[in-house]
Structure 1
């Protein structure tokens, strides 16, 4: 029994619910996290574009007024990429048999790595259509993303979803519902789990966000295109890879000979899907950082 077990707070996914014309409409914490995250990203992007000294040759890649149009593309990229990423990476067999279920995004099922690919594609198309340097617009977007990640992970915790593996550490949390019933412990014993959502909020959101803002405003990182994007990709990928050791693996991959739910395994050892998808992020991020560093050394 966990003497210092932390009980899950009395939280609900909905902030409030109203009834109109016989139908109920709810504002959920997760939706609010998206909205506030987008607003913060918008203001960070506008603030950066109003600081010419942050950019190569003191020339911002676009006008502040263009950020609103860019956000429209990014929102579409997040929604479409996140949903299709979940379908393709985590449950392709199910959705192949039930294709209409793909459209029911309100039932849940979004993948960060899919959303990232959607944002990359949307940003690339927008930059091409408006003759904006691609790496510079990527840096602009990358430095503004972490606050949204922070809020999104806090919403995951509030919703008691994406919880961690069982733990006997003193900060283990007794999540409600299925999380409390699937630890394989003795009958009646409280199931404590890693609050992995909070680990991700701290690493992917707060710490990575502070580092990127420090690099941009104190170290002039965005004067060397690709450096900020590289740090974001490598930083997020590393944080996600590490937290996956504490996060409950995806049940879709679990089987009798793979109880840990690893997406790839040999002899009981392997990687989760989150770790597999994070490795390319780390590699591409490091390549972009090295490329930017060479630009700095060449100009020194």
Structure 2
């Protein structure tokens, strides 16, 4: 067993002001996206550089935060809808914890679509340029979860198991680190290499949806289900069900692209 490092979740504390590692991970993720988007040939072709790229990141940040919070309430708190209706402020109370990746993905996608409509940019090409950078933020975010000592894994006796401060007395999988490596590093390497090949606009989104869905679905078998939900459909978690929906959406998008686009849309990224 490996001791949990007990890193202070607050990077900086000045009186009532706290800068948390988790928030810093968000900032670093968006900064990485801003830099990596502009390194892609396809992004430069459509003018997604400089101020335009900065504006896109702003839209995505707002969409992600709003979507992640609403997604958490809708997907993971459906047993508590009555409480949220009685106290609607809790819906936006991000400081109380609770963010959903799948909700954040939908929120960011909607914000990106609005941005493209206003800027008159091709949404599939912009989405491709963004999605290949997303794993960086995902990997960093999972490190933030690990530092917070939250979203721990299921009990186990593997040599690298850890006892989390709020996870009870039994050793558990450090599933946050599994996700950081799988959804972060591994997925980024796959997408960054694939983007060097010539695909129709929109295909990088397909790859992200399918690969992320598969990786997260597998890792969820090592992660403790959300206490307020437990297992769904006998032994699946909510995260796994949402990942299955992602995989199906990716497959559907693939066939839509195959049916609706021509070779003129093939581009180097």
Cα distance per residue 1:19-62 (max 9 Å; x no partner): 2xxxx1111110110011100000001111xx2xx47xxx7223
Q: Would you say the 8 A contact 1:244–1:272 is kept in 2? A: yes
Deviation at 1:139, TM superposition (A): 0.3
Deviation at 1:280, TM superposition (A): 1.5
Q: Would you say the 8 A contact 2:213–2:244 is kept in 1? A: yes
Q: What does 1:71-220 align with in structure 2 at a 5 Å threshold?
A: 71-92=57-78, 93=80, 94-177=83-166, 179-181=167-169, 191-217=170-196, 219-220=197-198
Cα distance per residue 1:67-119 (max 9 Å; x no partner): 11111110110111001111111113232333221222112111101000001
Q: Would you say the 8 A contact 2:6–2:147 is kept in 1? A: no
Q: Would you say the 8 A contact 1:83–1:105 is kept in 2? A: yes
Q: Would you say the 8 A contact 1:231–1:286 is kept in 2? A: no
SS at match of 1:6: coil
SS at match of 1:8: coil
SS at match of 1:242: helix
SS at match of 1:15: strand
| CA distance, structure 2, for counterparts of residue 143 and residue 298 of structure 1 | 22
In the other structure, the counterpart of 2:5 is: 9
Structure number with bigger Rg: 1
| CA distance, structure 2, for counterparts of residue 195 and residue 297 of structure 1 | 45
In the other structure, the counterpart of 2:48 is: 63
Cα RMSD for the two superposed structures: 2.1
Deviation at 1:294, TM superposition (A): 7.2
1:36 paired residue among 23, 28, 31: 28
Structure 1 segments unaligned to the other structure (5+ residues): 182-190, 254-260
Moved more, 35-44 or 8-17: 8-17
In the other structure, the counterpart of 1:257 is: none
1:238 has 2:214 as partner: yes
| CA distance, structure 1, for counterparts of residue 111 and residue 225 of structure 2 | 30
Counterparts in 2 of 1:151 and 1:244: CA distance versus 1, 3 Å: same
| CA distance, structure 1, for counterparts of residue 238 and residue 162 of structure 2 | 24
Counterparts in 2 of 1:76 and 1:297: CA distance versus 1, 3 Å: closer
Counterparts in 2 of 1:160 and 1:220: CA distance versus 1, 3 Å: same
Counterparts in 2 of 1:164 and 1:142: CA distance versus 1, 3 Å: same
Structure 2 segments unaligned to the other structure (5+ residues): none
SS at match of 2:11: strand
2:242 paired residue among 250, 260, 277: 277
In the other structure, the counterpart of 1:46 is: 38
Cα distance per residue 1:179-220 (max 9 Å; x no partner): 024xxxxxxxxx110111011111110000011111113x23
Total equivalences in the alignment? 261
| CA distance, structure 2, for counterparts of residue 232 and residue 275 of structure 1 | 16
Counterparts in 2 of 1:298 and 1:45: CA distance versus 1, 3 Å: closer
